[in-house]
Amino acid sequence: MDSEHHRSLQDVARLQALKLTGLMDSLPEASYDRFVRLASRLTGSPKAFLSLVDDRRQFLKATHGEENPARETPLSHSFCQYVASTGQPLAIEDARFHPTVKDNPAIQENEIIAYLGSPLLAQGKCIGSLCVTDKNPRRWGWADRQALNDLAACVNSEIELRTTNALSQGLAELLPAVVYLSDPTSGEILYRNETARDYDLTALSDRDTLELTHRDGSHHRFSHHTAPFGDGQLLGVATRLP
């Protein structure tokens, strides 16, 4: 592993961007599982992975085609680390003869001979790879590369939305106002900040002024505003009136 590659993996801004996604060591999620299934189907590859790479390991957020998939591997077994360090797609026809990965143990242990990976980005930093593999040598065509790049762009949008929502909720926790997210159809409260958790929100309505009951039994008046947010949700902010 050369020094430039090592420095890229250890870049503080890159690691911080990865941390802010909240994806490392997270549980499997259907949305990311769909991406790897699509990657496998569109490229005709038996295996596909969504890999996140820090400075010492890769975490497999989603896998397809593995009977008993590992959730993480050391960098010694990672091809995706080279996508993460360069921020560029990587196509390998036969890993046994590729100068960068020919000594990688995953060739024998995981039967990775052909590899195609596209960068995953967060805040402009490459945090991993959406990749497909084959146990046989393979020449990756333009259609394979384009399909994987397009899918990776979709994953990047999902990651950006997730990070934005996480940051928004983090900021909301610091606000003295009542902040909540709800389902506009059912009225179900999907999220409430710390201030909102002190109030009974069953009296919420679309009115500009609300009276909410505090957990101590007192009643307070609020100026109330709502707006569409995210994927069909409703964001509400209620500021206490004097």
What's 91's domain CATH number? 3.30.450.40
Total domain count, the chain: 2
**Is 129 found in the same domain as 68?**
yes
Q: What is the dihedral of CA 188, 190, 191, 196, to 10 degrees?
A: 10
Domain end point (choices 137, 166, 195): 166
CA distance 192 to 173: 9
- pLDDT per residue as tens digits for the range 143-161: 999 999 999 999 999 998 8
The pLDDT of residue 32? 95
In three-state secondary structure terms, 20 is helix
d(CA 169, CA 28): 21
Q: Residue 21's pLDDT is what?
A: 86
Q: Which of 107, 141, 166 is the last residue of a domain?
A: 166
Same domain as 103, residue 17 = yes
Token pair 């609300």 is found at 210
User: What residues make up the domain containing 184?
Assistant: 173-240
Q: Are residues 13 and 72 in the same domain?
A: yes
Per-residue confidence (pLDDT) for residue 50, from 0 to 100: 98
Q: How confident is residue 38, by pLDDT bands cut at 50, 70 and 90?
A: very high
Last-in-domain residue among 166, 192, 222:
166
The span from the CA of 154 to the CA of 93, in Å, is 25
- 190 and 158 share a domain? no
Clarify whether residues 203 and 144 are in a common domain.
Answer: no
Q: Are residues 220 and 150 in the same domain?
A: no
Mean pLDDT across the stretch 7-16? Answer: 92
141 and 235 co-located in one domain? no
Candidates 180, 176, 185, 228; CA nearest to 204 is 180
Mean residue pLDDT across the chain: 92
Q: What percent of the chain has pLDDT over 90?
A: 69
Q: What is the pLDDT of residues 54-78, one digit of tens each?
A: 999 999 999 999 988 889 999 999 9
Residue with tokens 């143990």: 105
Which amino acid, one-letter code, is at 10? Answer: Q
Contact between 124 and 141 (Cβ < 8 Å): no
Task: Please indicate, yes or no, whether residues 109 and 205 belong to a single structural domain of this protein.
Answer: no
**For residue 230, pLDDT beyond 70:** no
pLDDT tens readout for residues 176-226: 889 888 988 888 998 888 899 999 998 888 888 999 999 999 999 999 988
